């Protein structure tokens, strides 16, 4: 028997979630964001599922973009951070990739590149995140420059929200974006998942959902996405491979963090931080064992973790354990562990076998 851990990727859930996104996005076209190996779900595994319903793919690495072309995707591909050097810019021209342009060094590289088939550009405005992008007052001049270049085809205004999951969280950014776009008749692409769900006034021409395609919450709270009928695409599951009977005063795991206060049965699960389960998860973290919700007991080890079997007296060796997925939202595990669902999904370890259903 092999080690019983695996991750299941539910392709139907992904295509259902894309459908739900379309319901929200109205007439806007959809970039399916598949950076970070499709948020840990595997680009190669899921791209064809998305391909039947998306308008384009947005990602970071030129390697992934070229892979999509080779796999037969002829539609739009957006490099969210643009090209990183002149060689990549040449590949954008050659393979018809849309590139973000966020900095003057990229503008200069574009202007200096041999005029080839024009490349479509996403002109990025810094609307308050202060990571990438031109300041709103620079946008007009950058646009004039882009327009004058034979190397440049269509230009779209792009921005990214810092807090679209909070009420009124896009108001300041929208003011800056409107100021930047004034007088320029440019298509817009602004909305991430949170803005797709909660800020319809940001949808414009192209939306860029990521996390909601995979059924997790952009706000880190699963209850916030409940009205949208999204389904978790990834389930991380394992089994109980050992049982311990504790007496009052016994401790569990490294650092003896968990103390039994009474006699107690615990199960040892074949899943640890080397599988991508967060080591920072505290004792109250929810775990689904044998059809019942229970909790973690003691520090997560590299290859194992322990769970309280008090609520599930019938659980035994081989009982199924869900670490996150259908029954335990990844956001709940993440919240307990002091992070967000995004990080847990992206950090699924390569050693975990993946099953596609
Ligand atoms: C990651 C990313 C997105 C998608 O964000 P979600 O919160 O996962 O929807 C959209 N736009 C840009 C520029 C990104 O980097």
pLDDT at 307: 98
Q: Reply yes or no on whether 44 is catalytic.
A: no
Q: Look up residue 177 and give its two tokens.
A: 């974006």
Which of 14, 18, 20, 33 most suits a substitution to test ligand 1, by most atoms within 8 Å of the C-beta?
Answer: 33
Nearest to 354 by CA among 237, 213, 212: 237
What pLDDT is recorded for position 37?
98
Q: Do domains 11-220 and 234-356 have the same CATH topology?
A: no
Phi-psi category of 352—alpha, beta or left, where left has phi over 0 and alpha has psi -120 to 50? beta
302 is in an annotated binding site: yes
Task: Give the distance (Å) from ligand 1 centre to CA of residue 210.
Answer: 6
Calculate the average pLDDT of the chain: 97
> 343: CA distance to ligand 1 center in Å?
13
C-alpha 4 – ligand 1 centre gap (Å): 33
**Cα 31 to ligand 1 centre (Å):** 10
135 pLDDT above the threshold of 90: yes
Active site residue 35: yes
pLDDT at position 1 is: 65
Catalytic residue among 29, 35, 122, 204: 35
Cβ of 13 less than 6 Å from ligand 1: no
Domains of the chain by residue range: 11-220, 234-356
- For the segment 70-84, the average pLDDT, to the nearest whole number, is 98
pLDDT of amino acid 115 = 78
Give the pLDDT confidence of 136-174 residue by residue, as tens digits: 999 999 999 999 999 999 999 999 999 999 999 999 999
Distance CA 232, CA 259 (A): 34
Q: Is the CB of 272 under 6 A from ligand 1?
A: no
Which homologous superfamily is 234-356 in?
Lyase, Ornithine Decarboxylase; Chain A, domain 1 (2.40.37.10)
Q: Is the CB of 276 under 6 A from ligand 1?
A: no
Structure confidence at residue 132 (pLDDT): 97
Q: Quick check: 112 pLDDT over 80?
A: yes
pTM given for the model: 0.97
Of 122, 124, 204, 254, catalytic: 254
CA 309 to mean position of chain CA atoms: 32
Assess whether the C-beta atom of 79 lies below 6 angstroms from ligand 1.
Answer: no
Q: Which of 241, 352, 262 is nearest to 307 (CA)?
A: 241
Ligand 1 near 241 CB (within 6 A): no
Q: Where do the H-state alpha helices sit in 10-131?
A: 11-25, 35-39, 43-51, 62-71, 86-95, 104-112
Task: Tell me how far the alpha carbon of residue 5 lies from the centroid of ligand 1, in angstroms.
Answer: 29
Q: What is the mean pLDDT of residues 291-303?
A: 98
Closest CA to 333 of 291, 290, 254, 277: 277
Q: Minimal CA–CA distance to 330: which of 194, 195, 214?
A: 214
Residue 10 has pLDDT above 80, yes or no: yes
Ligand 1 centroid–CA 306 distance in Å is: 35
Does 300 score more than 90 pLDDT? yes
Q: Is any ligand 1 atom within 6 A of the Cβ of residue 209?
A: yes
Q: C-alpha dihedral over 51, 56, 61, 66, to 10 degrees?
A: 60
pLDDT digits (tens, 9 = 90+) for 230-283: 999 999 999 999 999 999 999 999 999 999 999 999 999 999 999 999 999 999
For β-strands 152-158 and 119-124, DSSP reports them as: parallel
pLDDT at 116: 78
193 Cβ below 6 A of ligand 1: yes
Q: What is 11-220's CATH number?
A: 3.20.20.10
Question: Does 109 count as an annotated binding residue?
Answer: no
82 Cβ inside 6 Å of ligand 1: no
Hey, is 4 helix, strand or coil? coil
Protein residue whose Cα sits closest to atom 15 of ligand 1 = 80
Give the tens place of pLDDT for each residue, 194-235: 999 999 999 999 999 999 999 999 999 999 999 999 999 999
Residue with the two structure tokens 């919700």: 293
Query: Which of 37, 58, 230 to probe ligand 1 with, by most ligand atoms within 8 A of CB?
Result: 58
Burial class for 72, CB neighbours closer than 10 Å (0-12, 13-18, 19+): exposed
CA distance readout (Å), 78 to 45, 60, 208, 256, 270: 19, 8, 10, 49, 39
pLDDT at 80: 98
Residue 121: count other Cβ atoms within 10 Å of its Cβ: 26
């Amino acid at each position: 028997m092999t080690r019983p851990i695996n991750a299941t990727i539910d392709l139907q859930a992904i295509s259902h979630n894309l459908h739900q996104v379309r319901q929200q996005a109205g007439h806007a076209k959809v970039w399916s964001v598949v950076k970070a190996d499709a948020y840990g779900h595997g680009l190669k595994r899921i791209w064809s599922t998305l391909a039947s319903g998306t308008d384009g793919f947005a990602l970071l690495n030129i390697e992934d973009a070229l892979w999509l072309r080779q796999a037969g995707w002829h539609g739009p591909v957006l490099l969210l951070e643009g090209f990183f050097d002149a060689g990549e810019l040449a590949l954008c021209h050659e393979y018809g990739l849309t590139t973000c342009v966020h900095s003057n060094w990229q503008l200069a590289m574009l202007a200096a590149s041999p005029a080839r088939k024009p490349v479509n550009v996403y002109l990025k405005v810094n609307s308050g995140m202060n990571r990438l992008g031109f300041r709103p007052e620079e946008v007009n001049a950058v646009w004039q420059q882009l327009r004058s270049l034979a190397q440049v085809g269509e230009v779209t205004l792009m921005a990214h929200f810092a807090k679209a999951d909070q009420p009124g969280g896009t108001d300041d950014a929208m003011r800056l974006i409107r100021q930047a776009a004034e007088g320029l008749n440019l298509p817009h692409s602004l909305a991430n998942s949170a803005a797709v769900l909660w800020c319809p006034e940001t949808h414009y021409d192209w939306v860029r959902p990521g996390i909601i395609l995979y059924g997790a919450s952009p706000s880190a709270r699963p209850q916030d996405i409940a009205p949208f009928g999204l389904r978790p695409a990834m389930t991380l599951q394992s089994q109980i491979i050992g049982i311990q009977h504790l007496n009052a005063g016994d401790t569990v795991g490294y650092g003896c963090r968990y103390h039994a206060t009474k006699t107690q049965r615990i199960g040892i699960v074949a899943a640890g931080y080397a599988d991508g389960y967060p080591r920072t998860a505290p004792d109250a973290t929810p775990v689904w064992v044998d059809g019942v919700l229970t909790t973690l007991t003691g520090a997560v080890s590299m290859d194992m973790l322990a769970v309280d079997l008090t609520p599930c007296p019938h659980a035994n060796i081989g009982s199924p354990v869900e670490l996150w997925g259908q029954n335990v939202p990844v956001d709940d595990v993440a919240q307990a562990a002091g992070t967000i669902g995004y990080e847990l999904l992206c950090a699924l370890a390569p050693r975990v076998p993946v099953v596609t259903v």
